[in-house]
Amino acid sequence: MILRVPNLTFRHYSTKLRGFREVRIPVPWGHIAGKWWNPTDKRPILAVHGWQDNCGTFDRLAPLLRPDVGILAIDLPGHGYSSRLPPGTFYHNMNYSILIKHISDYFKWPKVSLMGHSLGGISCYVYTMLFPETVDFLICIDGVKPLYKKNNGPRMAEGIQELLKYDELARSGEEPPAYPLDTMKKKISALNNKSIDIEHCLHILERNIAPSKSDPKKYYFTRDPRLKSRLILNWSRKDLLEGAYRVIPPLLLIKFTGSGYFEDKKNFYELLEVLKKTSKEVQMHYVDGTHHTHLNNPESINTIIDKFVGVYNTETRDVGGIKKDIVQ
């Protein structure tokens, strides 16, 4: 059953341009929910959202992309309508690479086409680094490499403490703090230096909140509180540079100029120089806007993506369309 939040009005002009089906894909710990944008009878591009977002982040971009290639935008575990990970389990980047493999195997895709934003871009990049022969192309929107930070031991220790705290909260069954809808919009909009325009916050909130049982006029966040735990796993700079030599598929990188790098930016450009030597093609585009420009102003990047896909959409899509039993 898909949870619907009542009395929310969305600017879903997108569905008039391009239809989608709500899906629920089985995985060992439950299910992965998502939206499969038409066409659904062919292998799609798998779209992965950022940290604490959900597949609604692609609501305004997906309808603008080329109509002959479907988009399967998923909710990561613990996000949106997807199942949470089992109690005591930590959310980290490798969870999401494992998930991509689960989904690819489930549909028996001969190749996987990947598009990710922020954490989703990082997850898609790591998957490509691990399984380069299975990826036909990769699109990273304002997020590519795993973040590298020095002296990570104290941060890892704090992350473990946070995990235990949020894990206990998740198991308690207590309802999180609830707020009026306007307050929820402001909370979402304020993240990442006011990254999301207030009028587009509902695309994230739709799959992220539920009405309070004590006050139906207020809402609480339904995402897993364990997601707030900081990372306890960290790639070394050496491993990241060595791994970049495995990233062979064509790669499109879109960087929003109003967004930060979340680490020393020289780490990114050092990696980029390796990718230029190893990948079949690396396209780097700088686009004005905040971290969520793909949601605020999708018209600024849809043509860039379409041109890239038009060149590298060369592998068959005949195998791996939608399955009837996953449609909601």
Count Cβ neighbours within 10 Å for each residue of 285-296 and write b for 16 or more, e otherwise.
eebebbbbbbbb
Distances (CA, A) of 41 to 7, 17, 44, 151: 33, 18, 9, 48
Q: How far is CA 321 from CA 42, 43, 147, 316, in A?
A: 4, 5, 34, 12
Residue 279: closest CA among 242, 255, 249: 249
Residue 119 CA to residue 91 CA, distance in Å, equals: 12
> What does the alpha-carbon distance between residue 158 and residue 302 come to, in Å, rounded to a whole number?
40
Q: Which ranges constitute the DSSP H helices of 5-117? A: 14-17, 93-107
**End-to-end Cα, the chain, rounded Å:** 8
β-sheet with 218-221: strand ranges across: 179-180, 218-221, 209-211
Q: Residue 131: in which H helix or E strand, if any?
A: none
Burial (CB < 10 A; 0-12, 13-18, 19+), residue 195, is buried
Phi and psi torsions of 145, nearest 5°: -90, 150
One of 14, 104, 113, 118 is an active-site residue; which one? 118
220 phi and psi angles, rounded to 5 deg: -130, 160
The helix or strand, by DSSP H or E, that contains position 120, with its residue range, turns out to be helix 119-130
Active site residue 118: yes
Name the CA radius of gyration of the chain, rounded: 19
Positions marked catalytic: 118
